[in-house]
């Protein structure tokens, strides 16, 4: 299990039913990044925590939430691992690639921090490699409401109006042949979810994408953390089936 940051809470546990105020103030320059892995011989444990520090982490990647490197690990066939990690060279911006010979490390930075080329635009990457060997990433796309894309999207140097993040395009996608040089980050899914009875449910926020794959490596379901649309601070997980090319053709033939 990869944690977002050091893996050890530094504040008292809070009541999940009470409103929370997030602190997004900048971290001190040169803050170090440590992350914690939890490992066990089986899901039942016993679990052991190990804290590691990436090699080659740029001191300018200060992280708006200290230690919150938002990792997206992918295990490769030879036992090595590749991780996309959040750098925050700008607010809610920046991703880099790290590699390690095994999950135990050491983790070394293998790229710069210009993968996404934007500010106030993204977080929560989920990276995977498809059956053809191509690389993909989903991410929480931010401050991109419904309608035509604002030409200035991703170029803000201060927090955009409309906070909290407006309803609209909450998911983005990028792809790569080698996992180092990436495409532009395009709209992928929004904050609305269609139910089987035809009802459309609109969410205030839809974050932290994760995918479930079938035995052949095809994505079948999308998981997100979400806020409901009435402004409640209560969060929950939603799961939506993915209409693949195969399933879409099957439905069209019925």
Ordered structural domains, the chain, with CATH: 56-252 (2.115.10.20)
Instruction: State the pLDDT confidence band at 10, using cuts at 50, 70 and 90.
Output: low
pLDDT one-digit tens code per residue, 13-40: 555 555 443 333 333 444 457 788 899 9
Please, what is the average pLDDT of the chain? 82
Q: How confident is the model at residue 208 (pLDDT cuts 50, 70, 90)?
A: very high
171 pLDDT above the threshold of 70: yes
Query: Does residue 196 or residue 112 have the better pLDDT?
Result: 196
Residue for token pair 């909290």: 164
Flag the least confident range among 27-36, 113-122, 144-153, 226-235.
27-36
Q: Is the pLDDT of residue 158 over 80?
A: no
pLDDT confidence of 3, banded at 50, 70, 90?
A: confident
Q: How confident is the model at residue 189 (pLDDT cuts 50, 70, 90)?
A: very high
Nearest residue to 187 (alpha-carbon basis) of 212, 150, 216, 223: 150
Place of tokens 């991109």: 144
Give yes or no for a cis peptide into 118 (omega within 30° of 0).
Answer: no
Among the listed residues 173, 54, 191, 69, the one whose alpha carbon sits nearest the alpha carbon of residue 116: 173
Distance of CA 251 to the CA centre of its chain: 31
Closest-CA residue to 141 (of 125, 157, 127): 125
Contact yes or no for 33/64 (Cβ under 8 A): no
CB neighbour class for 96 (10 Å; exposed up to 12, middle 13-18, buried from 19): buried
Residues 139, 123: contact at Cβ < 8 Å?
yes
pLDDT greater than 90 at residue 82: yes
Q: Range with the lowest mean pLDDT among 2-16, 63-77, 115-129?
A: 2-16
- Give the contacts of 16 (CB within 8 A, at least 6 positions apart): none
Question: Sorting pLDDT into bands at 50, 70 and 90, what band is 167?
Answer: confident
- Residue 19: the pLDDT is 45
Give the CA distances from residue 181 to residues 83, 96, 112, 138, 143, in Å, rounded to whole numbers and listed in that order. Answer: 14, 11, 10, 15, 25
pLDDT at 233: 77
SS3 label, residue 188: strand
Q: What pLDDT does residue 135 have? A: 97
pTM listed for this prediction: 0.84
Q: Of the spans 49-63, 189-203, 232-246, which averages the highest pLDDT?
A: 189-203
pLDDT band at 163 (very low <50, low <70, confident <90, very high): low
């Amino acid at each position: 299990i990869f944690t977002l940051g050091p893996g050890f809470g530094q504040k008292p546990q809070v009541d999940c039913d009470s409103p929370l105020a997030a602190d997004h103030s900048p971290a001190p320059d040169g803050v170090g990044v440590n992350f914690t892995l939890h490992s066990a011989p089986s899901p039942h444990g016993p679990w052991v925590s190990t804290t590691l520090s990436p090699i080659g982490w740029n001191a300018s990647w200060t992280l708006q939430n200290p230690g919150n490197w938002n990792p997206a690990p992918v295990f490769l066939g030879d036992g090595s691992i590749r991780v996309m990690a959040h750098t925050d060279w700008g607010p809610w911006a920046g991703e880099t690639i790290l590699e390690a010979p095994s999950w135990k490390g050491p983790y070394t930075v293998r790229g710069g921090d210009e993968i996404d080329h934007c500010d106030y635009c993204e977080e929560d990457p989920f990276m995977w490699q498809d059956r053809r060997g191509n690389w993909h990433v989903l991410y929480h796309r931010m401050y991109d409401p419904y309608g035509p894309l604002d030409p200035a999207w991703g170029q803000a140097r201060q927090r955009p109006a409309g906070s909290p993040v407006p309803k609209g395009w909450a998911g983005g996608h990028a792809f790569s042949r080698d996992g180092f040089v990436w495409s532009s980050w395009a709209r992928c899914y929004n904050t609305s979810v269609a139910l089987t009875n035809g009802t459309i449910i609109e969410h205030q926020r839809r974050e932290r994408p994760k995918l479930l794959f079938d035995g052949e490596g095809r994505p079948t379901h999308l998981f997100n953390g979400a806020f409901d649309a009435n402004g409640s601070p209560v969060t929950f997980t939603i799961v939506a089936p993915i209409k693949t090319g195969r399933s879409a053709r099957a439905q069209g033939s019925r």
